[in-house]
Amino acid sequence: MKKTTFRVVTRGSDGQIRIRDYDSPQPILRRHSQIGIEDCSTDLSLRGLPVFRGLIGPIPESKNIIRYESPDVFEDLTKQWTAAPLPKRKRSRTRMDASHRPSTSSDTAHSIPSPVPSSSVSPAPDSPSAANA
């Protein structure tokens, strides 16, 4: 699905963040000069979109919104994003007692009895030792 809303996020003269939405990039072209086109985004729907002087973007904001930000807004929002505390992950710890601890090779060699004594095992019919028997 094609992205349909072009969002420009800047800072007003009073310091507040100002968001303007447009249906096409043409109104943005009236205020900013195009200096190229996006040709390396991993989001393939952004490729071919205009890159404007004085704005950072295009940035995918949601399924249908393309975002451009002024450098100061980009810097402030990035700082806020990186300074936000990460949610604490809960770690599940399992307690292992002796009955549940993994066995080692030395434990295995001494604690597992052979199910059938080796003298009572007959060789397979097609083996070389079966021909001698």
Pairwise CA distance, residues 115 & 121, whole Å: 11
Tens of pLDDT along the chain (133 residues)? 466 899 999 998 898 999 999 999 999 999 999 999 998 888 888 898 999 999 998 998 888 999 999 999 988 888 888 887 777 777 776 666 666 666 555 555 555 555 655 555 555 666 555 555 5
**E strand segments, the chain:** 5-11, 17-22, 34-37, 50-52, 56-62, 65-69
Query: What sign does the CA torsion over 6, 11, 13, 15 have?
Result: positive
The residue ranges of every structural domain in the chain are: 5-68
Pairwise CA distance, residues 97 & 92, whole Å: 16
Residue 28: predicted pLDDT: 94
Residue 87: predicted pLDDT: 76
SS3 of the chain: CCCCEEEEEEECCCCCEEEEEECCCHHHHHHCCEEEECCCCCCHHHCCCEEECCCEEEEEEECCEEEEECHHHHHHHHHHHHHCCCCCCCCCCCCCCCCCCCCCHHHHHHHCCCCCCHHHCCCCCCCHHHHHC
Residue 1: predicted pLDDT: 47
